Chains A and B, each alone.
Chain A
Amino acid sequence: MLLIACPWCGERDETEYHYGGQAHVAHPADPHALSDAEWGAYLFVRDNPKGEFAERWMHAAGCRRWFNVVRHTVTHDISAVYPAGQPRPVPPSDEHSEVTA
């Protein structure tokens, strides 16, 4: 049971949220200008890193706002939470997260 801090409501159990996959994947401005392969990539291909991942969550049982989280997919440590639409924060350069598995 992850503990995720909604930027508004604060820390809540994972079960209050909907997972939204990778963050910062914009809908193409003109889908019709894309090849089938490019469109297929937009539809189906997402990053799947082992490590820090900027992803979307929505506080479904709470304020219903979408927001972004940087979470480590091995440790589940959350290093940043920020509202939808904002860029991914640059981590302080001297910090590096630990991979344990």
Chain B
Amino acid sequence: MTVDGFALAHLRRSPLGHLADRLAAAEATGPGGVRLREIPFLAQLNLRLDPAGPAAARAAEALGAPLPTLAGSVVATADLRVLWLGPDEWLVVGADGAAPTIEHALRRALGDEPGSVVDVSANRTTLELSGPSARSVLEQGCSLDLHPRAFGPGRCAQTTVAKVQLVLDQIDAEPSYRLLVRGSFAQYLADWLLDATGE
């Protein structure tokens, strides 16, 4: 069952829609700068399959990129980011409205192979944290090694930031991070980030 996001856009609420102004107002510029915003309604598909099986190749074809097999890595195409979540698990992230198409393609790729494709677009929302201070903000609540020698664009991790489990996806070297957080925890995470950026 899928939803065409655009037709119903006026009915949608993202978990942090009401915070947009506060997130924007928290922006700091300059060398210690940091920006925070929600990117709502991204398409997210949880994909489970055997990376060595025939479905993996079909999925790669459908996505236009091989499934990342290196732990904690991301493969990005023009319109998708495929995040490694586990040895047989990925999160395919696409643009708002793309979920039905991606889901369909992945289901076809999976075929009769054991595995699963689950639309989890509304399960998590995405917070983007960027700017020269973004890393030090995250380091206030995340025990991962985020130094460029250890983490960088193309890397993702499921980890904990300030008591909240999330998927961390670094998208560029500025650095910018996406924090994919479950809807029910989004408010807490946003509050925490606002507090940490204000430090």
A-side binding surface: helix, strand, loop or mixed? loop
Contact status A10-B87, CB under 8 Å? no
**Number of B residues, CB within 8 Å of A:** 13
Across the interface, A61 reaches (CB within 8 A) one of B86, B87, B158, namely: B158
Shortest distance between the CB of A18 and any CB in chain B (Å) = 12
Q: State whether the Cβ of B89 lies closer than 8 Å to any Cβ in chain A.
A: yes
Contact status A63-B144, CB under 8 Å? no
Across the interface, A9 reaches (CB within 8 A) one of B143, B157, B160, B165, namely: B157
Query: In the complex, which residues 27-81 of chain B have their Cβ closer than 8 Å to any Cβ of chain A?
Result: 71-72
Across the interface, A12 reaches (CB within 8 A) one of B85, B86, B144, B165, namely: B144
Q: State whether the Cβ of A71 lies closer than 8 Å to any Cβ in chain B.
A: no
Q: State whether the Cβ of B140 lies closer than 8 Å to any Cβ in chain A.
A: no
Across the interface, name the chain A residue whose C-beta is closest to B71.
A8
Across the interface, A63 reaches (CB within 8 A) one of B86, B143, B160, namely: B86
Contact status A10-B71, CB under 8 Å? yes
**B-binding residues in A (CB < 8 A):** 8-10, 12-13, 15-16, 60-65
Q: List 26 A-B contacts (CB under 8 A).
A: A8-B87, A9-B71, A9-B72, A9-B157, A9-B158, A10-B72, A12-B143, A12-B144, A12-B159, A13-B143, A16-B159, A60-B165, A61-B159, A61-B160, A61-B165, A62-B157, A62-B158, A62-B159, A63-B71, A63-B85, A63-B86, A63-B89, A63-B158, A64-B86, A64-B158, A65-B87
